C-alpha cells in the first residue's frame, strides 16, 4: 500500500478528471454545434475519468501505455496539448497525428502513449511487446495495457496474458469493465459474468494476480495500480486489474453513411434495454462530482479552488475547439505520405 497522497497529487487527479470530462463534453457537443466536423466513429471516456487518472498516477516518467479506440482521456492526463488532440478529431493538419488517425487512433509517442488499436483486443499483444522491449532494455520501465471487458473474450487477450505471465513481463493489464461490450450486456456474452463472477477471475488461468477495484474512485484505482506497477517493476510479472466503471455516454456516435448527420444516441441501458433506473443510478454515482465533493469535504480543496479548476478546463477546451475549427485541412496529396518509413 502506498503512502497517503499529498494535496498536490490529489489536486492533480481532480484536475485531470475535470479536464477529460470537459474535453469529452466538447467533443460530444461538436456533433450538435458544428455538424460534419467530426466524421466516422468517436468513443468517449466520460465515466472512466477516475479509472484513467488513478491508473496513470501510478506510473513513473519513463513508463508507457497502449489503449483502445476509446482513447481521448489518456493523453489529456499525460499532458498532450488538447488543441492537437481536438484538431486530430476534427481531421486537421495540426492534429496530433496530422489528421491521419482521427478519434480512434490518438498517439503521443513522446509521452509514452504508444498506440491505440481500433480492433477490440488487438492492442493487448502490442502492450506485451512494448513490455518485452522494456524488459530487454532493463531500465525498470512498466507498461499499462488498457482495454475493455469485451476484449477479454478475444483470443489475443488469453494468448497475451499467458505469455506475459510466462515471461514475467513488466506489464499491467487494466480492464475497464463498463458492463457493455458495445451494445451487448456483459452477462450475455461472458461465462463468468453470466454466473455473477468478477471478470478478474480470468487471471486464474494464467497464474497471475487478478483484482477488482471501484473504477469510480481514483485513489482506490491508484492504490491497486501502484501495487501492480511495483510488482511489475520488480520483475515479478503482470497483474490483471479489473476496474469497474460506468460509461456515461453511448458506445459511440451513430453509425451512418455520408449525408446522415451524426449524433450521440442514448445510452444502451436506456435505448436498448429500457433500464432507466440503472442509468440514473450511474449518473448519481458520477465519479467526477463524487471526487470533487470528497476533496472539498475532506478539506483538501476549497470550493473556490475546485471551481477554478473547472473554469480553467472550460477555457482550455474552448480554445481547443476553436483551434481545431480554425486549423486547415492537410493538403490532399499528403494522403500517400507515410507509406514506407
Partner 1 sequence: MLRTMWRIRVFEERVGELTRANEVHGLVHLSVGQEGVAAGVCGLLRPDDAVYSNHRAHGHAIAKGAPLGPLMAELMGRDGGLCRGLGGSMHLVDREHGLLGATGVVGGNVPLALGSALAGRLAGGDQVAVVFFGDGAVQGGIFVESVNLAALWRVPLLLVCENNGFAEFTPRSAHTVVERVSDVVAPYGFPRETVDGNDVVAVRAACAAFLEDARRGEGPFLLECLTHRLRGHYEGDPQRYRQALADEEWQELDPILRLQRLGAGEGWLDDAEPARLEQQAREEVEEAVRFARASPFPDPSLTAGLVYAS
Partner 2 sequence: MARELPYIAAIGEAVHQEMERDEAVIYFGQNLALTEEDPYVKAFGGNRVRVTPISETAEIGMAVGAAFAGLRPVVQLYMAEFMLVAMDQVVNEAPRFYGMTGGEVKVPIVLQAGYGFTAGWAGQHTGTIYGMFLGVPGLKVVVPSTPADAKGLMTASIRDDNPVVFFHNYLLTLEHGDVPEGEHVVPLGEAAVRREGGDVTIVGIGWTVGKALAAAEQLAGEGIQAEVIDPRTLAPLDLGTILESVAKTGRLVVVDQATRHASAAAVIAAEVASEGFSSLKAPVQLVTALDATIPYSQPMEEYLLPSEAKIVDAVQAAVGATVAA
Please tell me whether residue 205 binds partner 1 under the rule CB under 8 A.
yes
In the Cβ-directed half-sphere of 165, how many Cα atoms lie within 13 Å? 18
Positive or negative torsion for Cα 95, 101, 102, 107: negative
* # of chain residues touching partner 1 (CB under 8 A): 25
Q: What, of partner 2, partner 1, none, does residue 294 touch, CB below 5 to 8 Å by kind?
A: none
Question: Nearer to partner 1 by C-beta: 209 or 265?
Answer: 209
- Residue 279 in grid coordinates: 442509468
Nearest distance in Å: CB 150, partner 2: 5
Question: Nearer to partner 2 by C-beta: 54 or 95?
Answer: 95
Question: Nearer to partner 1 by C-beta: 195 or 260?
Answer: 195
Which region among 19-27, 200-208, 213-221, 262-270 touches partner 1 (by CB under 8 A)? 200-208
Please tell me whether residue 255 binds partner 1 under the rule CB under 8 A.
no
Please tell me whether residue 182 binds partner 1 under the rule CB under 8 A.
no
Window 99 to 138, contacts with partner 2 (CB under 8 A): 99-102, 104-105, 117-122
Question: Nearer to partner 2 by C-beta: 155 or 299?
Answer: 155
> How far is 191 from 188, CA to CA, in rounded Å?
8
Nearest distance in Å: CB 206, partner 2: 18
Across 65-79, b (16+ Cβ under 10 Å) vs e yields bbbbbbbbbbbbbbe
Q: What, of partner 1, partner 2, none, does residue 159 touch, CB below 5 to 8 Å by kind?
A: partner 1
Q: What, of partner 1, partner 2, none, does residue 303 touch, CB below 5 to 8 Å by kind?
A: none
Residues engaged in binding partner 2 (CB under 8 A): 38-41, 91-93, 95, 97, 99-102, 104-105, 117-122, 150-151, 153-156, 181-185, 188-190, 256-258, 260, 272-273, 329-339
Amino acid at each position: 500500500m502506498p503512502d497517503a497522497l499529498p494535496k498536490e497529487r490529489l489536486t492533480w487527479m481532480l484536475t485531470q478528471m475535470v479536464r477529460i470530462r470537459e474535453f469529452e463534453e466538447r467533443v460530444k457537443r461538436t456533433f450538435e454545434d458544428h455538424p460534419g466536423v467530426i466524421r466516422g466513429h468517436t468513443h468517449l471516456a466520460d465515466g472512466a475519468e477516475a479509472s484513467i487518472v488513478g491508473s496513470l498516477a501510478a506510473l513513473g516518467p519513463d513508463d508507457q501505455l497502449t489503449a483502445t479506440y476509446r482513447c481521448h482521456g489518456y493523453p489529456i492526463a499525460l499532458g498532450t496539448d488538447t488543441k492537437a488532440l481536438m484538431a486530430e478529431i476534427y481531421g486537421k493538419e495540426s492534429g496530433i497525428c496530422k489528421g491521419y488517425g482521427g478519434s480512434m487512433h490518438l498517439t503521443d509517442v513522446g509521452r509514452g502513449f504508444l498506440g491505440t488499436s481500433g480492433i477490440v483486443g488487438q492492442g493487448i499483444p502490442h502492450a506485451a511487446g512494448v513490455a518485452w522491449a522494456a524488459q530487454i532494455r532493463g531500465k525498470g520501465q512498466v507498461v499499462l495495457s488498457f482495454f475493455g471487458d469485451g476484449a477479454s473474450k478475444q483470443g489475443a487477450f488469453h494468448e497475451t496474458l499467458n505469455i506475459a505471465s510466462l515471461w514475467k513481463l513488466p506489464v499491467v493489464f487494466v480492464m475497464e469493465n463498463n458492463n457493455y461490450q458495445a451494445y451487448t450486456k456483459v452477462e450475455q456474452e461472458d461465462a463468468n459474468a453470466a454466473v455473477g463472477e468478477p471478470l478478474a477471475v480470468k487471471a486464474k488461468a494464467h497464474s497471475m494476480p487478478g483484482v477488482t477495484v471501484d473504477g469510480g474512485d481514483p485513489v482506490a484505482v491508484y492504490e491497486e495500480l501502484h501495487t501492480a506497477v511495483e510488482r511489475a517493476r520488480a520483475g515479478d510479472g503482470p497483474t490483471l486489474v479489473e476496474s469497474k466503471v460506468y460509461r456515461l455516454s453511448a458506445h459511440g456516435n451513430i453509425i451512418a453513411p455520408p449525408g446522415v448527420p451524426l449524433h450521440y444516441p442514448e445510452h444502451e441501458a436506456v435505448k436498448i434495454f429500457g433500464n432507466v433506473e440503472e442509468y440514473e443510478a450511474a449518473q448519481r454515482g458520477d465519479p467526477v462530482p463524487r471526487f470533487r465533493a470528497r476533496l472539498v469535504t475532506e478539506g483538501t480543496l476549497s470550493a473556490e479552488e475546485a471551481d477554478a479548476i473547472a473554469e480553467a478546463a472550460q477555457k482550455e477546451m474552448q480554445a481547443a475547439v476553436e483551434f481545431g475549427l480554425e486549423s486547415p485541412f492537410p493538403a490532399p496529396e499528403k494522403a500517400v505520405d507515410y507509406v514506407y518509413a
